[in-house]
């Protein structure tokens, strides 16, 4: 089957209390690790591409890799999603490039301007049968191209549930990323992890049936953090969202859970391990291969955590 959008996935996820994993792809090995896991678990899948990924790998290479994945896995519904589009032009380009879902992240703009830009993207995307994720409130953390608020400011940038209703009504977006205390990257909390479940619940109550999205949802798995620190890395203070918190959110109205950092850490941990244990190694297949295996194992585990294993058929 060709690429699909996320409508049916979210309808099923909402109804059955699970979330679909949205994993960031930047190259072939990452994509293969994710796809192999989704195929083995018979899980619906969202492959997401950031602006940074488009710059790094070029859209045509990523598209070709994803096309192979789709052709080889006809029983798995796969959506291709733009992660954190920041302008109408980027979103339009992705719609024209064949993405089935785009995110317009205008969350840093004042409320009315966020509405205006999101609405413009929605009009163009819907005209082309592409769904739109928008964002209200602001996350923390800093990635290459996605700049968030500082940890100390997170609480004052959580999504306002009343504004969420007005935003969704006015923009007609298809899903909404809510700021509920998470951050991008590997340093999400300074001490005890804390999510604003009350915000998720209030938005869900005010927008019944409407799919929510949780960004910054990597867990910073101990296994990979320990390997990285053991083999010369320096991430002693890395801390992610506990997996039981992700599960709690996915039973509420969170239908899409974004994961990138856990992929990066799995890959980095394995490559560090190979280099440390075999310093003479210089065949990229000997370190990218184990990295791909680590990604696959990590995603297999995540799909169980999210509850989307064995859900592919119901999303077709």
DSSP code per residue over 63-117: HHHHHHHHHH-TTS-EEEEEEEE-SHHHHHHHHHHT-SEEEE--TTS-HHHHHHH
Residue 144 Cβ vs ligand G3H, minimum distance, rounded to whole Å: 3
**Residues from 56 through 95 that contact ligand 13P (CB under 6 A):** 83-84
Nearer to ligand 13P, 24 or 114 (CB): 24
Locus of tokens 């194992």:
297
Structure tokens at 134: 């928008």
Nearer to ligand G3H, 39 or 177 (CB): 177
Show which residues are catalytic. 83
Which of these ranges, 3-11, 193-201, 253-261, 308-316, lies near ligand 13P under the rule CB under 6 A? 253-261
Half-sphere exposure for 143 (CA within 13 Å, toward CB):
20
- Single out the residue of 258, 265, 302, 307 in contact with ligand 13P (rule: CB under 6 A): 258
Residue 112 CB burial class (10 angstroms; 0-12, 13-18, ≥19): exposed
The answer to whether residue 133 forms part of the interface with ligand G3H (CB under 6 A) is no
**Residues from 193 through 222 that contact ligand 13P (CB under 6 A):** 215-218
Q: How many CB atoms lie within 10 A of CB 4?
A: 21
One symbol per residue from 53 to 92: x for binding ligand G3H (CB under 6 A), - otherwise; what is it? Answer: x-----------------------------xx--------
CB distance 182 to 138 below 8 Å: no
Residue from 182, 195, 201 nearest 135 by CA: 182
Structure tokens at 128: 């082309």
The answer to whether residue 184 forms part of the interface with ligand 13P (CB under 6 A) is yes
Residue 254 Cβ vs Zn ion, minimum distance, rounded to whole Å: 13
Structure tokens at 122: 């929605």
Q: How many CB atoms lie within 10 A of CB 267?
A: 24
- Single out the residue of 43, 146, 176, 274 in contact with ligand G3H (rule: CB under 6 A): 146
**Residues from 28 through 57 that contact ligand G3H (CB under 6 A):** 50, 52-53
CB distance 104 to 125 below 8 Å: no
Interface residues with ligand G3H (CB under 6 A) are 24, 50, 52-53, 83-84, 143-146, 184, 260
List contacts with ligand 13P (CB under 6 A). 24, 83-84, 184-185, 215-218, 258-261
Binding interface with Zn ion (CB under 5 A): 215
């Amino acid at each position: 089957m060709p690429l699909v959008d996320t409508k049916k996935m979210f309808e099923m996820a909402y109804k059955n209390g699970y979330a679909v994993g949205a994993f960031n792809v930047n190259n072939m090995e990452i994509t293969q690790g994710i796809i192999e896991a989704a195929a083995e678990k018979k899980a619906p899948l969202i492959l997401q591409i950031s602006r940074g990924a488009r710059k790094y790998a070029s859209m045509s290479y990523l598209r070709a890799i994803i096309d192979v994945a789709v052709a080889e896995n006809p029983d798995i519904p796969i959506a291709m999603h733009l992660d954190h589009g920041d302008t109408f032009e980027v979103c339009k380009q992705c719609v024209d490039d064949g993405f089935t879902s785009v995110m317009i992240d205008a969350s840093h703009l004042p409320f009315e301007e966020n509405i205006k830009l999101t609405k413009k993207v929605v009009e163009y995307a819907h005209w082309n049968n592409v769904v739109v994720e928008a964002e209200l409130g602001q996350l923390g953390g800093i990635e290459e191209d996605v700049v968030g608020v500082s940890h100390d400011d997170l609480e004052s940038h959580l999504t306002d549930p009343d504004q969420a209703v007005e935003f969704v009504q006015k923009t007609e977006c298809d899903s909404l990323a809510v700021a509920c205390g998470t951050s991008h990257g590997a340093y999400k909390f300074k001490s005890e992890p804390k999510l604003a479940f009350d915000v998720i619940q209030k938005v869900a109550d005010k927008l019944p049936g409407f799919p929510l999205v949780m960004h910054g949802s990597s867990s910073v798995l101990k296994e990979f953090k320990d390997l990285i620190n053991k083999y010369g890395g320096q991430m002693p203070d890395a801390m992610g969202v506990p997996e039981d918190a992700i599960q709690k959110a996915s039973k509420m109205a969170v239908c899409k859970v974004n994961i990138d950092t856990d992929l990066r850490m799995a890959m980095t941990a394995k490559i560090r391990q190979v280099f440390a244990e075999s310093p003479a190694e210089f065949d990229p297949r000997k370190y990218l291969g184990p990295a791909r295996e680590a990604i696959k194992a990590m995603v297999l585990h995540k799909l169980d955590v999210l509850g989307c294993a064995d859900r592919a058929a119901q999303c077709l």
